Chains A and B, each alone.
Chain A
Amino acid sequence: DTGVSQDPRHKITKRGQNVTFRCDPISEHNRLYWYRQTLGQGPEFLTYFQNEAQLEKSRLLSDRFSAERPKGSFSTLEIQRTEQGDSAMYLCASSSRLADYEQYFGPGTRLTVT
């Protein structure tokens, strides 16, 4: 396991549809983070898990967004009833206490809502 992986890498969907993204963290990393990056901006924090527990959600995460991390391994981020404003790069990162929780990022999932 060489790094954080995300699937799919690209997703095009029509407004109103639901989409789900997956993130597989580095093995043994107990913390997992989701960020959103819109064009020309830096990534913004969305939510964070320690093992299977979701410990914080940003105000950016509306009721249409839900994230899970069953069994403290991979995580999914679902967006219901997508809107054009949801178009962005969704980045996942993971970290470990052994590395002082330095965050390692995946390649991201680019979402386009038409």
Chain B
Amino acid sequence: DAGVIQSPRHEVTEMGQEVTLRCKPISGHNSLFWYRQTMMRGLELLIYFNNNVPIDDSGMPEDRFSAKMPNASFSTLKIQPSEPRDSAVYFCASSYLYGLDTEAFFGQGTRLTVV
């Protein structure tokens, strides 16, 4: 398996534009996580899906952020409208839950810059 695949790797956009980040999890994994990483706040969990269903979206900063998982092999994180403070590295991770030894496999991230 190629691992978790995220696209694009880099995105530069103007304030107010819509941004869509994409993620393909590892085949067979039933959990998918979206994280945002900044120097100030570290790695923050935004939303978590299990079997394509959003379980916990308490980390989504505000209504400008939305995430979908239409099937087991694809998820998107959308920001509309984008703002400069959204600039960060966004990671997608997937795992197969099997109790205390869950390992999360991360993609390489999308570096988002909003100017």
Is this pair of chains taken from one and the same complex? no
